[in-house]
Structure 1
Amino acid sequence: MKKLHYILLGIIFASMFACSEADKEMFKGPDSICFRIPQTSDDIDEYRKLDSSLIFREDTVVYSFAFDMEATERTICIPVQIGGMAANHERKYMVEVEEYNGAQAGVHYEAINKEQILSAGKTTDSLRIKFFRRDMDKVARKIGLRIKTGGDFIEGTQERLFVAVQVSDILEKPSWWNDWSSCFGTYHPIKFREWIKMYGGTGDLTGKRPDWWGAPLELTLVLELKDLFEREEFYDENNVRLTIPCTH
């Protein structure tokens, strides 16, 4: 009798566990997905180690062909992240595209499929967008990407469902410029262009401070740039002469 009692208890516990597992599967919905755009300064620094030519402005990723005179096209990767576990097979998620500033699929960027693929075995992946260097020297072309419920995923964190990508052939104001405004003054592409020629690369001063302790080489070059603008005349669109006000 005692043995039968233990057997019955075992059956009951096994039944309860089986129901629990079945309920878990029954109530488990699809995983969520959202964009994974860097928001903190540390995240941005890490992302820019992979691509220093990108500028981040709130919900917008900015790129300029002006950094590369020979490029005719450029693919920009926008990371996505799921809320859930990786699967051993490809899964689909849905994206809607919004066009701004006259951007046109097939002209300024390669048409983007509404249905995108998350690779097998991944919880993070990239949505790749190819832009073409066409008709961007006066107007920055911009598209918006919005994740929608569909495929194998539902919408994730609301604040991360939308991201814009702005591309031009214009030297856009870099994110570090405001920190150096006491040296360079008001932003203008001509100033940035001449600075890049003098400093090299993309002229990036991210993480550097405009003082002799933190950036002696950079300040020396800024003073050389100031001298250049005093010797030669550079004018903006309103025929106002541009100057470099650095007094360090």
Structure 2
Amino acid sequence: AQAGQHYDALEETRTIPAGASSTTIPVRVHRLELEDETVYTLRLELVETEDFRLGVIEGRAVSVCFTNRLDQPDWWTELSHWLGEYNVRKYQKFIELWGSPITKEDIEENKYAILRVFKEVKLYFEENPVYGVTFPDVEWPV
């Protein structure tokens, strides 16, 4: 991944607060600059300083991988009776309406709210057949 092109450049150095065993480094990815089938990697390394001694070698670096693909989530089959086959456009539209991707835990806690939003997705694609996105012809519980 190229700083400034694929993600916002990070500070060259970052200080971990005294006594802390972890820190968070936000990374803003430029999705519109990513190719769909490419996996991008950003490598972050810890560097020893006068005030910071490194531990085991294995914990000195981490690679963060990201892509622009929106693969079928694990939970899709659980809702496939209503959603049908996975289609990236279905899930993209859902994320747009819901506000974020969801997890299997979200479905366990909010199944019917999620299905209501997917029903809106279904209606959208019925009104916009140019995309060729279809859903099964079944009764919805919402």
Give the TM-score taking structure 1 as reference length: 0.39
The superposition leaves residues 47-70 of structure 1 with CA deviations (integer Å, 9 ceiling, x where unpaired) of xxxxxxxxxxxxxxxxxxxxxxxx
Q: Deviations over 1:184-240 (max 9, x none)?
A: 23333321233245x432253652448xx96333334434433443443143xxxxx
* Matched position secondary structure for 2:15: strand
Aligned partner of 1:142 in structure 2 is 40
2:46 counterpart of 1:117: no
Q: Aligned partners of 2:81 and 2:112: how far apart in 1?
A: 15
Matches within 5 A, 1:1-248: 103-109=1-7, 110=9, 113=12, 116-132=14-30, 135-136=33-34, 138=36, 142-145=40-43, 147=45, 150-151=48-49, 152-155=53-56, 158=58, 162-166=62-66, 168=68, 172-173=70-71, 175=73, 177-178=75-76, 179-197=78-96, 199-202=97-100, 204=102, 206-209=104-107, 215-235=111-131, 241-245=132-136, 247=138, 248=140
Moved more, 218-227 or 132-141: 132-141
Query: Greater strand percent: which structure?
Result: 1
Report if aligned partners of 1:118, 1:125 keep a CA contact under 8 Å in 2.
yes
CA separation of 1:111 and 1:200: change in aligned 2, threshold 3 A? closer
Cα distance, 1:150 vs. partner?
4.3
CA contact (8 A) 1:143 1:164 kept: yes
Q: C-alpha displacement at 1:153, in angstroms?
A: 0.6
Query: Aligned residues: percent identity?
Result: 19
The answer to whether the 8 A contact 2:126-2:134 is kept is yes
The two structures, once aligned, show a CA RMSD in angstroms of 4.0
Q: In structure 2, do the counterparts of structure 1 residues 204 and 129 end up closer, same or farther at CA, with 3 Å as the change threshold?
A: closer
Q: Secondary structure at the match of 1:162?
A: strand
What is the alpha-carbon distance in structure 1 between the residues aligned to residue 54 and residue 121 of structure 2?
53
Cα distance in structure 1, aligned partners of 2:45 and 2:101:
34
Q: Which has the larger radius of gyration?
A: 1
Instruction: Please say if residues 108 and 141 of structure 1, whose CA atoms lie closer than 8 Å, have aligned partners that are also in contact.
Output: no
Q: Structure 2: which 5+ runs fail to align?
A: none
Separation in 2 of the partners of 1:228 and 1:192? 12
Aligned pair count reads: 134
* 1:165 partner letter: C
Q: Unaligned stretches of 5+ in structure 1?
A: 1-102, 236-240
Distance 1:146 1:234, change over 3 A: same
Q: Which structure has greater helix proportion?
A: 2
